[in-house]
Amino acid sequence: MSEDDLEVVFAQFDAVNRRDFARAMELYDEDVVLIVPPVSPGEGNVFEAGRFEGKEAVGRWFGNWFQAFDADYRFDIEETEDLGHAIYLFARHRGRGRASGVEVHGENAYLYRVRNGKVVRIGFFAGREQAMTAAALPEWSAGETD
């Protein structure tokens, strides 16, 4: 991974925080893959776990997720690490529920792979340990074609 690849990931988070979803989507490859693992009871909640393939499916997943929150929902990146074959990122997120107005917050670890200036793979993880375990798997470390 290069500094340019990291800038693509930062630009994607910045676009999301500004609610410029069109710009965020421009940063995804047509064949982007999103991996959202199921959560264990007590770990939090995501709308839909699974593997989502292609820009349209990934955009739909993120759109469904963001519909649950007010426009103030944002991400604060706290840590990044270049793993060579992927980018590790840890971010906290916070805002208010759209229907309830209740303040919500969470944190996730992520793996990103960027190729030719576009995000080609994203993985969500409960924490650093899970992300690093996944980073050693062939689909992340061996440069699987996405």
What's the pLDDT score for residue 145? 45
In this predicted structure, the answer to whether residue 46 has a pLDDT above a threshold of 90 is no
What's the pLDDT score for residue 143? 56
Confidence class for position 11, pLDDT limits 50, 70, 90: very high
Q: Give me the mean pLDDT over the 74-81 stretch.
A: 96
Per-residue pLDDT of 20-44, as tens digits, reads 999 999 999 999 999 998 875 455 5
Confidence class for position 146, pLDDT limits 50, 70, 90: very low
Q: What is the pTM of this model?
A: 0.89
The CATH classification of domain 3-141, taken from the options 3.10.450.50, 1.20.140.10, 3.30.70.120, 3.40.50.300: 3.10.450.50
Q: Which long-range contacts (CB under 8 A, 24 or more apart) does 37-44 make?
A: 37/123, 37/124, 37/125, 37/130, 39/126, 43/126, 44/106, 44/126
Q: Which of helix, strand or coil describes residue 92?
A: strand
